[in-house]
Amino acid sequence: MPDQIRQLALYFVVGGAVTTVIVTLEQSGLRILSGLATLVPVFTLVAYLFIGETRGGMAVSQHAWLVLSGTLISWVPYMVTVALLAPKVGPNKAIGSGLAVFFVLATGYLLIVQRLGLFR
C-alpha cells in the first residue's frame, strides 16, 4: 500500500506541475510556448510512461487506440462547442456547455467500449 500511495503522489505532483507550467507560460505572454505545451498530449504522455512501466507496451498500445477513438468522438465536439459558443455566450458558459457535450459523448463512448470489450 505505501508504494501505491507514493505512486499516486508522484502522478499528482507531475500532473500539477505540468498544468502550472502551461498556465504560467500563458500568463507570462509566452503564447507560443503555452500553446505548444497545451497541444502536446502531456497527460497521456505522462500516463503512458507510468502505464508502460507497470503494464507494458501492449497496455499502452491498447490505451492509445482507446484514446484516439475517444478523442474523435468526444474531444473534437467539445472543442467545436467551445469555439462556436465562446464569442456568443462568453468563455465560462461555452466551456461549461463544451464539457457537458464532452461528458455525454465520452461516457456513451466508454460504455459502448466496455460493453463490446474493445481495447483490452
Residue 14: per-residue pLDDT = 83
- The CB-side HSE value for 74 (13 A sphere, CA atoms) comes to 18
Q: What cell does 57 get? A: 507496451
Give the whole-angstrom CA distance, residue 75 versus residue 78.
5
Give the whole-angstrom CA distance, residue 92 versus residue 81.
12
Give the whole-angstrom CA distance, residue 9 versus residue 34.
25
pLDDT, tens digit, 9 for 90 and up, residues 19-40: 898 899 999 999 999 888 888 8
Confidence of residue 51 (pLDDT cuts 50, 70, 90): very high
- Domain ranges in the chain are 59-120
Quick check: 96 and 80 in contact, CB under 8 A? no
Q: What's the distance, CA 90 to chain centroid?
A: 23
What residue type is assigned to position 2 of the chain? P
Give the whole-angstrom CA distance, residue 65 versus residue 120.
10
Specify the pTM.
0.68
pLDDT, tens digit, 9 for 90 and up, residues 53-77: 999 999 999 999 999 999 999 999 9
